[in-house]
Amino acid sequence: FQRVNYRLATILLAGSIPGTLVGAFLLRALKARIPAGELDGFLNHILAITMIATALLLPFLQARKGAALVADRAPRYSAWRMSAIGLAVGVLVSITSIGSGSVTMLLLLLLVALPTAELVGTDIFYGLLTVSSAAALHLWMGHVDGQLWLRLLLGSLPGVLLGSRLAGRISEKGYGWIYSALYVSIATRLVLM
């Protein structure tokens, strides 16, 4: 909790909570109009494009942020812009289950000059609440596989504990390369599905 910027997380949540509602109902409307196979293919391509764009932009954004911090030219963020980002991410999370981590982190690196470890902590906290909101809507709509959810939860808990321990020990540049490698591997898997 020491690495969470609560003010920034609250501003993002002001947009993302309504965004999850919009996204869940948009997905429901798409499911009623598009055959399941076509919709799955479309969503996989959206996910892959998002991941590849994130992977390609991340090292550049990290270098830009580092230069701004060194020159003491920290970019200021507006509450309206952060709320708009939250809204877009909320919609994206509800439709694709992605965005609270990758897209938000990319935008935070671009727009907010805080240490990466603090951005990661803020993004995880914000993402937890955004994903919980979207999950509640999808549970209500009957879109949740309980067994798969339990397996994912059991696997992610040790990962979160390990990651939080490593967060303070990885360099700013190291974060960029780790994220990029992760996103490229996920995007490749989505394209090959």
- Region 1-25: mean pLDDT is 88
- The pTM (predicted TM-score) of the whole model is 0.68
What tokens were used for 183? 């996103």
What's at 38, amino acid-wise?
A: E
Q: What is the pLDDT of residues 76-102, one digit of tens each?
A: 678 888 999 899 888 888 887 766 666
Closest CA to 187 of 96, 60, 95, 123: 96
Q: Residues 186, 97: contact at Cβ < 8 Å?
A: no
**Maximum Cα interatomic distance, the chain, rounded to a whole number of Å:** 53
DSSP 112: -
Lowest mean pLDDT among 3-7, 11-15, 160-164: 160-164
| CA gap 78, 164 in Å, rounded | 28
pLDDT greater than 80 at residue 75 = no
Percent of the residues in the chain that have a pLDDT greater than 90, as a whole number: 9
